[in-house]
Amino acid sequence: MFYNYLKITFAVLKRRKLLTFISLFGVSFTLTILIVTVSFYDHVFSAKYPDLKRNQMLYISRVVSKDSKSGGTNTSPSGYYLIKEYVSKMKTPEKIGFATQPSTINIYNPGGNKLRVFYKYTDANFWDLHEFDFKQGKPYGQQNLDNHENVIVINEKTRDDYFGKNVDAIGKTFEIINEPYKVIGVVRGSPITRFYSSSDIYIPYNLTKENLSLNHRLHGSYTIFLKGNSKQDLINIRKEFADIVPKLPFTEYDHWFKPDKHYIFADNYVEAFSRELFGDTDTPGLIKFYLLLAFSAFIFMLLPAINLINININRIMERASEIGIRKAFGASANTLVKQFLVENIFVSLLGTLIAIALSIISIYYINHTNLIAYSDLTINWKVLTLAIIFSFAFGLISGVYPAWRMSKMNIVEALKY
């Protein structure tokens, strides 16, 4: 039976070339965008280079202080005071590190060419918490920080742009706004979408011009990394930190902003990301985040699906006579619905194959052009599974109504076509 369904599907697809093209184009184009989007989601949220320990880490990315009387809120990354006085004294994390988010700066290479680069300040533990691939040299350690050495780590592209392609940069001087730094390590670059770890230049945090001794400032410019070894560790870390928050001091920043409550959380990566976009004071807004993703995917599939429903109705109406014949010889309405759904899902799956090919080309293009530097989008089994699920959903959405409508057709009327 199934084979017969496929046979007629192929025959009809071959006969109506324009309709086939429109149907397949609709399906494959929609799915290509979905696959690339899912691949991009995977690129942003999966534990990939150099964030390979992401699933063992919690992030304190945002400090929110609220003045309930004036309604004023101060939101920023964490301050050095919070790290030094509270977080660094925590017992449950296996390792604690911190880094600023990437900022941009213009520098000039020895040839006088302007380079626009990202830089970030990190502590020494940052290198243990991430798995950077050192192409030359090594990371700076606590000793370098204690000695206040002007050392930096740069990525390969920055090395190539500053010193020349594949030049051995270790020990060479790298100037950032008239300040000389010695290059101590060169790492493989990572995409900026991994913004907790990605940068072109890494500088020891104690070389910052910022005054680190500012008292009682919980606010600052750092993201804190807390590493555990197991899920239970992460639960314990969250709990320990949650117990610290109520004990944090309230700094009277000025006379009209007097915060009386802090909202600071140790989040996993997705929560930290979601909190930035959808979070309120208490929750990271994960439900909103996932709902938005699901809704966007649904709407994105719905619009072409409605179009395909229209095409499918025409395609099926054109086969009214066949429907009449099949019914006359014993096909029930349910059997016909099944047949047309199988056909539609088959067309969708065919569209999926084309979509996968198109996605591979698109992803190759994204990875090999400078659209996102160092991007390493991939089509993995998760992406493929989702694509097939989307395709099934698409086939069902665009096939159910036409199939149901034609199955209800009066046989005598159908045979008149």
Partner 1 sequence: MIKLQNIDKVYRTSTIETMALNNINLAIDKGEFLSIMGPSGCGKSTLLNIIGLLDEPTNGVIEIAGEKASGLPDKKLSAFRNRKLGFVFQSYHLINDLPVLDNVELPLLYRSMSAAERKKLAAEALEKVGLSNRMYHYPSQLSGGQKQRVAIARAIVGKPAIILADEPTGNLDSAMGNEIMEILIDLNKNDKTTIVMVTHDENMSKMTHRLVRLFDGSQVS
Closest distance of CB 321 from partner 1, Å = 6
Closest distance of CB 322 from partner 1, Å = 5
Examine residue 334 and tell whether it contacts partner 1 (CB under 8 A).
yes
Closest distance of CB 319 from partner 1, Å = 9
**Which of the 8 DSSP states describes residue 89?**
G
- Which residues on adjacent β-strands are paired with residue 152? 183
Number of residues that bind partner 1 (CB under 8 A): 26
Q: Which is nearer to partner 1, 294 or 328 (CB)?
A: 328
Q: How far apart are CA 210 and CA 165, in angstroms?
A: 33
Q: Which two tokens stand for residue 372?
A: 């996102």
Examine residue 12 and tell whether it contacts partner 1 (CB under 8 A).
yes
Q: Which is nearer to partner 1, 385 or 410 (CB)?
A: 410
Examine residue 321 and tell whether it contacts partner 1 (CB under 8 A).
yes
From 10-18, 43-51, 156-164, 363-371, span contacting partner 1 (CB under 8 A): 10-18
Q: Is 82 helix (H, G, I), strand (E, B) or coil?
A: helix
Q: Which member of 91, 329, 368, 381 binds partner 1 (CB under 8 A)? A: 329
Q: Which helix (H) or strand (E) holds 178?
A: none
Q: Are 140 and 124 in contact (CB under 8 A)?
A: yes
Q: Which is nearer to partner 1, 67 or 343 (CB)?
A: 343
Chain centre to alpha carbon of residue 182: 34
Q: Which member of 139, 220, 284, 324 binds partner 1 (CB under 8 A)? A: 324
Examine residue 314 and tell whether it contacts partner 1 (CB under 8 A).
no
From 111-119, 184-192, 307-315, 326-334, span contacting partner 1 (CB under 8 A): 326-334
Q: Are 241 and 86 in contact (CB under 8 A)?
A: no
Start-to-end CA distance of the chain, whole Å, equals 25
Examine residue 6 and tell whether it contacts partner 1 (CB under 8 A).
no
Q: 53 CB contacts (<8 Å, ≥6 apart)?
A: 47, 129, 130, 131, 227
Q: Which is nearer to partner 1, 198 or 339 (CB)?
A: 339
Examine residue 306 and tell whether it contacts partner 1 (CB under 8 A).
no
Examine residue 325 and tell whether it contacts partner 1 (CB under 8 A).
yes
Q: Are 138 and 197 in contact (CB under 8 A)?
A: no
Closest distance of CB 342 from partner 1, Å = 13
Q: Which is nearer to partner 1, 286 or 415 (CB)?
A: 415
Examine residue 62 and tell whether it contacts partner 1 (CB under 8 A).
no
Examine residue 320 and tell whether it contacts partner 1 (CB under 8 A).
no
Q: How far apart are CA 408 and CA 391, in angstroms?
A: 26
Helical residues (DSSP H) of 94-221, grouped into ranges: 126-129, 142-146, 156-163
Q: Which is nearer to partner 1, 335 or 362 (CB)?
A: 335
Query: 243-248 long-range contacts, Cβ below 8 Å, gap at least 24?
Result: 244/86, 244/87, 244/90, 247/86, 248/82, 248/86, 248/218
Q: Which helix (H) or strand (E) holds 180?
A: strand 179-187
Closest distance of CB 338 from partner 1, Å = 11
Closest distance of CB 329 from partner 1, Å = 4
What are the CA-CA distances from residue 348 to residues 33, 108, 317 (Å)?
A: 15, 53, 19
Please give the residue ranges that form the binding site for partner 1 (CB under 8 A).
Answer: 1, 3-4, 7-8, 11-12, 15, 321-322, 324-335, 410-412, 415
